[in-house]
Structure 1
């Protein structure tokens, strides 16, 4: 049989063999794929049984699982307790902060009350000191009134003798008096006006410095008086708030027997505080050597200022009033206090 010829028998045999092989493969139910599926299904069944019925597991594994579960539950319970304790601690801490703030506020209130009481006590002590100073001044004035004879009757205006021909002003030129300078000039003008006849006047400060014309007199004409008052605006020599030197200079330069002289001392403070010694020294200098008569009338005019809510006058004005009240009484003069 050649290659190109078709053999019907051989073809039938070949197709039959192939069909038999195919039929044999289709009927093999225990193949590898089937076994693989069966194994997986069995494993899944076993796993489900273990999960659903833990008693089927080994006794040791079940015991460990129970222990672990107990530990987990215990840890969770402890965490809850810790969280509750932390929350309680936070509440306690916030409460303590609130109490501390309240205590701090109470302490501030107490301290403020203490400061207020201390301030009131200080004000009360100052008031008592001022009252005591007033009492001492009144007692000293009473003593002077008992020991000093009254001067002879003279021509007076407002309680001030105005029989002098010459007038000298001894003026404190410290800063506190410069603040009152408008009042000072007004009083100078009033004093010169109330004297019926003034041949001349002079202006010195408390340390003995002259406004002008040292050793001479300023004529009491309208023009000369106005010019002198204007010149005092720029006049500010050094001052110690002690009129002793100015009074001594006025007495030594202008005090002469037979001359009718009046000295007016203006001030608001006496820095020395040596009242008796200063008054005695001035009184001893203000007399002639033969007859003992006074060379000049010495008057005092105090410029007091109310210094606080209690209506009391500043302490400096009291010291000046104590000194000049004594000097005026011992030297035939008058003391006036001009308060504002």
Structure 2
């Protein structure tokens, strides 16, 4: 029994040694195998993790920038669209107003046409009634337009050519001359002098200028730059015009254009001088009519010059009243 146990123990020891021997052998064999291969070293590559993030951020910034630009463009388009809408609305309102005015004008035109027809009928009826009452042979004693008698056959313009008139009121003077000529469609003669009696056209000194459309145009054209010396006193011009151009049987009107009469002159003496030259006939009418137009140029200057304006108005009103004419004082010289 003991021998058998001893053999078993020896067998166990041998088996254990075999196992250990096999283990060492395996290790030695493994070492021999690995010695023939080169050692392997592991390398770690640093991955740049920040690079993808930076690119994404840059892309994000670009997208945001493009978005802002797109938003600005969109807002600009919206504002432009709003402006177009406002303009369209304004144009629609204007068109509506124009249509309303057109309709109103059409209605007024119809009313005016009807009124003209009624006036024409009334004029015909009045003319017929006047002929019945006054008779077929009735004629007016004289022609009056705007309170100014226009029955003269000859007209003389006496124009103050002083600096105050020429540099301030000349455009209005040209207009007034044209208006007076229009009042007289046809006369036998015209003459133009300044307030001192100087002639605009020396070739017609002492004689009448024939009344033709070309002569009238020449008068206006020459008058634009005509400014001889003047002492702003109409006395010399009036006396020369009456003494030179009056002829018995001729109807003559003198038109005086001025802006002042200097304090040195005497209004009474001027009136008496004109009365002596422009004497009244047996019927009380004067040789020539004297009309006057006053231009308030000096009212725009210092008040000390205003007296000359009042003196001119007083003188010409008196002369016009005594000599069968009219005096017109303008409110403005422009």
TM-score by length of 1: 0.51
Instruction: Assess, with a 3 A threshold, how the Cα gap between structure 1 residues 312 and 306 changes in structure 2: closer, same or farther.
Output: farther
Partner of 1:241: 232
Change in CA separation of 1:216 and 1:326 when aligned onto 2, cut-off 3 Å:
same
**156-165 vs 304-313, which deviates more?**
304-313
Residue 314 of structure 1, aligned match among 306, 310, 325:
306
Counterparts in 2 of 1:251 and 1:308: CA distance versus 1, 3 Å: closer
**Structure 1 partner of 2:38:** none
For residues 63-95 of structure 1, the C-alpha deviation after alignment (integer angstroms, 9 at most, x for no partner) is xxxxxxxxxxxxxxxxxxxxxxxxxxxxxxxxx
- Out of 195, 199, 206, the position equivalent to 2:184 is 195
Structure 1 distance, partners of 2:205, 2:163, is 24
Residues 181 and 309 of structure 1: is their aligned pair in 2 closer, same or farther, counting only changes over 3 Å?
closer
Deviations 1:153-191 (A, max 9, x none): 631111100000100001110001102111111111111
Q: CA deviation at 1:224?
A: 1.0
Partners of 1:301 and 1:158 lie apart in 2 by 13
Q: Distance in 2 between matches of 1:158 and 1:245?
A: 28
Deviation at 1:306, TM superposition (A): 7.1
Residue 199 of structure 2, aligned match among 205, 210, 223: 210
The alignment partner of 1:229 has SS state of helix
The Cα offsets for residues 246-270 of structure 1, whole Å up to 9 and x where unpaired, read as: 0001001101221000000110001
Is the aligned partner of 1:259 residue 2:247? no
Q: How big is each residue's C-alpha offset from its partner over 1:101-126, in whole Å with a ceiling of 9 and x where there is no partner?
A: xxxxxxxxxxxxxxxxxxxxxxxxxx
Number of residues of Structure 1 aligned to a counterpart in Structure 2 = 189
Q: Tell me the equivalent position of 1:159.
A: 147
Please give the per-residue CA displacement for 1:123-154, whole angstroms capped at 9, x wherever unaligned. Answer: xxxxxxxxxxxxxxxxxxxxxxxxxxxxx963
2:174 to 167, 185, 198: 185
Q: Is the 8 A contact 1:169 1:263 kept in 2?
A: yes
> What is the aligned counterpart of 1:220 among 211, 222, 239?
211
- Partners of 1:156 and 1:291 lie apart in 2 by 19
Shift of 1:290: 7.3
Alignment gaps of 5+ in structure 1: 1-151
Q: Which residue of 1 aligns with 2:101?
A: none
Contact map agreement 1:305 1:314 (CA 8 A) in 2: no
Verify the 8 A CA contact 1:162 1:196 in the aligned structure 2.
no
Q: 1:19-98 counterparts in 2 under 5 A?
A: none
Distance change >3 Å, CA 308–CA 255, structure 1 → 2: closer
2:323 corresponds in structure 1 to: 331
The secondary structure found in structure 1 opposite 2:330 is: strand
Residue ranges of structure 2 left out of the alignment (5+ in a row): 1-139
Rounded to whole Å, the distance in 2 between the matches of 1:257 and 1:289 is: 10
TM-score normalised by structure 2 residue count: 0.52
- Give the equivalent residue in structure 2 for 1:20: none
Partners of 1:312 and 1:187 in 2: CA distance: 28
Matched-pair contact (CA < 8 Å) for 2:158–2:237 = yes
State the SS of the aligned residue for 1:301.
strand
User: 1:302: which partner in 2?
Assistant: 294
Verify the 8 A CA contact 1:257 1:288 in the aligned structure 2.
Answer: no
Q: Indicate how the Cα distance of structure 1 residues 303 and 161 shifts in structure 2: closer, same or farther if over 3 A, else same.
A: same
RMSD: 2.6
